[in-house]
A and B are shown apart, each in its own frame.
Chain A
Amino acid sequence: MEAHFSPSVLIANIVLMAMLGVITIAIIRLRSLFAIVMLGGVYSLVSAAWFQAMDAVDVSFTEAAVGAGISTTLFLAAMLLTVRTAKPSKPIKKRWAPLAVVLATGAALVYASVDLPVFGSAEAPANAHVGKAYIEATPSDVGTPNIVTAVLASYRGFDTFGETVVVFAAGVAVILLIGFGERARAASDWRGKDEEQDENFSDDSHLILRVVSKFLIPLIAIFAFYVHFHGEYSPGGGFQAGVIFAVAVMLYALIFGLKAAMTAFPPVWARAGAAIGVAIYGMTGIICMINGGDFLDYDYIFGPPVEGAHHGHHNWPQITGIIGVEVGVVVAVACVMITAFYAFAGRVPEIRDEDW
């Protein structure tokens, strides 16, 4: 079957794809790590825009928040702790091995692409079997308007549990590897530097930042809650909300100093919160088990479902379960992102303004 796209989608598709290609080539050729990292962020942002055109609004939201936001921040933080430029690459003659691997992979992919379904086809197997079943079954099974949320938190809720654990594992890994800013706090001149910084903040250049951010940070935090609790109706959910909440704390740290942020949101909270978030997710599932269902079977969350009961407009057991696990996700993700930020930022005794 031929697939018909509206011109706007086609143009967006081609333009954005071309931009991705140009960015990739630029990164290959560049040596300045700062430029490479920023272009990496741009790549994420452009792909987020492209996901929008492909109807993947949730993916787009997450990619923008995680790929363009958090990843870039982490890259920059790591770059500050290491070096700014990469060494020149080897002459082309010595690069045949990576080229060969890449070409072999590309050849395998092209080989497969010939038999891949027509782009945009509704009858492709991928869109005809399980994917279609989710769209058809969600209203009666789960009842959330956002199908992605229904699949994410209920049908494939176990995947999401695993995903939360991945995030938790990353938090644990970062703490184990680079600590928790102990080095920064232990540095003897920490206090002095901080006061110095405080003086800097009375500069006019920072005044606007400080005033604006004082308004902005609460708004960002509120937006995080909106994204979280409206996730059933619109794009968004636990992961995005967690990241946004973490960004509020990061912004605070960038403008008022790491120490002030660590006072406002102590690292111990972040570390405990990561574990508690996973535990909340797990306990939601375990409650269902205790009530006689399978793990994460939200129909059992208030006890065994009554046979033939006609739930009203809202399927409360499912919605309660989804909110329960999403709370776990938001707590875990926010705390791990803050942990990672503290860990990287705390590794440098002092971050000068020009470094950011």
Chain B
Amino acid sequence: MNMFADLHLAPEALAVHAPVLLVLAPFMMSTASVFAPNGRFAWGMALLTSAFTVWMSLVLASDVAREGVISYHMGGWAPPLGIEFRADGLNVLIVILISFMALMSALFAQPAVAREIRTEKQPLFYTAFQICLAGLMGMALTGDAFNLFVFLEISSIATYVLVGLGATRDRRALTAAFNYLIMGTIGASFFVIGVGFLYAATGTLNMADIAERLNGLDDSRVVQAGFGFIVVGLGLKAAMFPLHQWLPNAYAYAPSFVTVFLSATATKAAFYALARFIFTVYDPNWDFVVAAMNYVLAPAACLAILFCSFQAIFQLDVRRVLAYSSVAQVGYMLLGLSVGTVAGLSAGMFHLANHALMKGALFMAVGAVALHSNVWRVCDFKGAAKTAPLTIAGFTVAAFSLMGTPLTVGFLSKLRLYDAVVINGWWWAAVVIATSSILAFFYVGRLLQAAYLMKPDEGAPEIKEAPMVILFALWVLAGLNIYFFFDSSLPLGLAEAGAEAVLGASAGGVQ
């Protein structure tokens, strides 16, 4: 965190509003891009918005580094009467990650959207993207439980339509979006029920205030059931096993830009919200919370890692391979979280950041390959390394990171996770991590084998190199996957600061 403390990136008058500007800028720009004359202009606006959010998130990070906790009172009403935006160690990482991945996806968007979305729909498409971005930002920043629901819905509604627009290429996008809508709305409703129970028990909606008033209420069945509903509700959004059924199809059939953006951000924001509730609103030392983490979340995480890695091996479609792998990776993060120690949570958050970098790069490369040839099957990648060497090289770096090989950042987060579970005495979880690395070797290996070792089929469409702007974004992400192996102080520092911020007092964690 120290590296941010000396940064002064914006005038004070702007910096004090950084939390709300992160949400407000995309909102206002989304209304403006309704009037954009064409898709290219709207893309420029979206790019500008994403760049602005990156700037503001860095401003926010430096403020948090200096002052610890930033609280912004909407409408000037102090919480609990008013709604509060609250930035601390835990969400700074998420905010930076979302804004950065939005910027990278926006770079990717220009050629991809121009090809995949009908011309007259492009301005509104970018409107929906910016609404989604603002929604995710709001989820990451808000300190009010009900406000979180509102932002959850904002991002979700935008997501449903973004996924559904894949229908111009494949009609299955429609059913994927519909199923996502049903599951997502059930999740949001469960979350609202959970918040309602917390409200019934405490009379307030501000998370910090709820936490204070929950003291000594751990026997209340209302509080316990509220925990269950919130975990299930957010777990649906975070694609927690076995609530992940909506994810593979949604990722596979959405427009490729949408897949890049969502895979790097959407489940991450929901996962953050889950961690926020478990660790700061509830007390991770309470019996029922410990029991839930030990006997529900941790087994679910392990099943996700094993089962979905296994399923990934047998998928024909490259995007589905990566989508199942995403569910497995959520399992890693969840495993870190359910350990309940600073080491575990920071490993989970670290892996969350890494996973965004690697999955973003992988989906970008796949999208770039399909850009010209419109092929998605593993067998269509045969010989791609010869005709599109730079794209496939970027893919390879990220793929090695996904397997967790040394020299990539994926190795570091898996190692830390391994340490965390072993210290906790969860040898079975350590076995799961090791096994899944082998499984990852198989499903990623299949892709690499096709790309490098096989000759293209006769008459198969030739795979071309990606446009410059995509290569740039792809290689920034791939480069970070390598760079952070040698100097992981940025993501790891933020992840550790976050874990310490929420677990500081109860660092002992699960016994």
Contact = CB atoms under 8 A, between A and B. Distances in A.
B82 A111 contact: no
Contacts of A137: 81
B28 A158 contact: no
B10 interface: no
A131 interface: yes
A295 B161 contact: no
Nearest to A127: B203
Interface stretch (B62-70, B150-158, B312-320, B368-376): B150-158
A274 B150 CA distance: 18
Contacts of B151: 162
A131 B146 CA distance: 14
B306 interface: no
Interface in B147-184: 147, 150-151, 153-154, 157-158, 160-161, 164-165
Contact of A162 (B154, B197, B201): B154
B327 to A, nearest CB: 20
Contacts of B226: 112
Interface stretch (A82-90, A173-181, A215-223): A173-181
A342 to B, nearest CB: 15
A126 B198 CA distance: 9
Q: Which of B80, B131, B224 has the most CB of A within 10 A?
A: B131
Interface in B82-99: 82-83
A117 B220 CA distance: 11
Given A130-B205, A170-B157, A294-B76, A124 B150 contact: no
A169 B27 CA distance: 10
Contact of A296 (B34, B75, B81): B75
A279 interface: yes
B221 interface: yes
B387 interface: no
Nearest to B127: A172
B221 A159 contact: no
Q: Which of A116, A156, A274 has the most CB of B within 10 A?
A: A156
B200 A159 contact: no
B246 interface: no
B74 interface: yes
A326 interface: no
Dominant secondary structure at the A interface: helix
Contacts of A282: 24, 27-28, 31
A124 B213 CA distance: 13
Interface string A273-294: 0111011001001101100011
Interface residues of A, number: 58
Contacts of A297: 73, 75-76
Contact of A108 (B134, B158, B225): B225
Contacts of A9: none
B203 A172 contact: no
A123 B344 CA distance: 41
Interface in A297-320: 297-300
Contacts of B222: 112, 115-116
Interface in B107-146: 121, 124-125, 127-128, 131, 134, 138, 144, 146
Given A115-B220, A176-B121, A286-B24, A296 B199 contact: no
Contacts of B131: 165, 168-169, 172
B257 to A, nearest CB: 14
A129 B165 contact: no
Contacts of B72: 294-295
A176 B125 contact: yes
A30 B87 CA distance: 50
B204 A299 contact: no
Given A130-B204, A173-B161, A295 B74 contact: yes
Interface string A141-159: 0000000000000111111
A271 interface: yes
Contact of A159 (B124, B128, B147): B147
A289 B24 CA distance: 12
A134 interface: yes
Interface string A100-140: 00000000110110111100000011111111011001000
A38 to B, nearest CB: 22
A159 B83 contact: yes
B228 interface: yes
Given A117-B200, A166-B154, A176-B125, 6 more contacts: A108-B229, A168-B131, A173-B161, A176-B121, A275-B35, A294-B17
12 contacts: A112-B224, A115-B220, A130-B81, A159-B146, A159-B147, A163-B150, A170-B157, A288-B76, A293-B76, A294-B72, A296-B75, A296-B76
Interface of A: 108-109, 111-112, 114-117, 124-131, 133-134, 137, 154-159, 161-163, 165-166, 168-170, 172-173, 175-177, 271-272, 274-276, 278-279, 282, 285-286, 288-289, 293-300
**Lowest 3 A-B CB distances belong to which pairs?**
A129-B203, A297-B76, A112-B225
